[in-house]
Structure 1
């Protein structure tokens, strides 16, 4: 990630889109399912501070509930799942590496052998279970 992002709790938060850094951290904690107390413990601040930061964000985004706050943050691109960012990096990498193992075109026989191995392993796993 770069200097304009914060990564925590499986989410990526984007700075410069209307939320202060601490507000963004609180939002990402709540978006990941933490309560105010849990988020406060992780961030080293009081639960009241979490609630105040979230209240400031609800005012900025024009919503009234936490669920609506999280939904609006996703909609406006303030936060996104980290998996999406990782996938974007991987896609960019695969495009730039044309001779990469993962982008190599296989002949039909290689694919059939690989499928046969997968089926055999699955059958063995089922027989053992």
Structure 2
């Protein structure tokens, strides 16, 4: 596989030639990494509406309507792959060392708070992976 057929955004990689245009794949990888539409737009240097349009186009091609379903479908099709085994190993090691800050999940009634906590944990893990 050549590097030209792969796109990387953060610690996520996507394969071209599986039904997703390059920009659609970039938007998908950003969202899979936990970025909101606004954050993905900032990362990719496009407008938030551009991100929404690309994800809508890809969802239409694959027959899904929600972002989470789009990411799940991409996994199922083998289009995207995170450094998931390394991330799982890192989280397990932190759990064994007793680092409660990494494993803590707030149980607020607000689902947005959970989403933010997940992004924070993901970013911490990505930073640790980049250092390692």
Structure with bigger gyration radius: 1
Flag whether TM exceeds 0.5 (same fold).
yes
TM range (shorter): 0.5 to 0.7
Question: For structure 2, which runs of at least 5 residues remain unmatched after alignment?
Answer: 86-132
Q: What residue is the counterpart of 1:36 in the other structure?
A: 37
Q: Which runs of 4+ in 1 moved over 4 A?
A: none
TM-score (norm 2): 0.61
Q: What residue is the counterpart of 2:62 in the other structure?
A: 61
TM-score (norm 1): 0.62
Q: How does 1:34-113 map to 2 (within 5 A)?
A: 34-82=35-83
RMSD (Å), alpha carbons? 1.4
User: How many correspondences in the alignment?
Assistant: 84
Post-superposition CA distance 1:27-62 (Å, at most 9, x none): 000000100000001111000000000000100111
Q: What residue is the counterpart of 1:11 in the other structure?
A: 12
Question: For structure 1, which runs of at least 5 residues remain unmatched after alignment?
Answer: 85-129
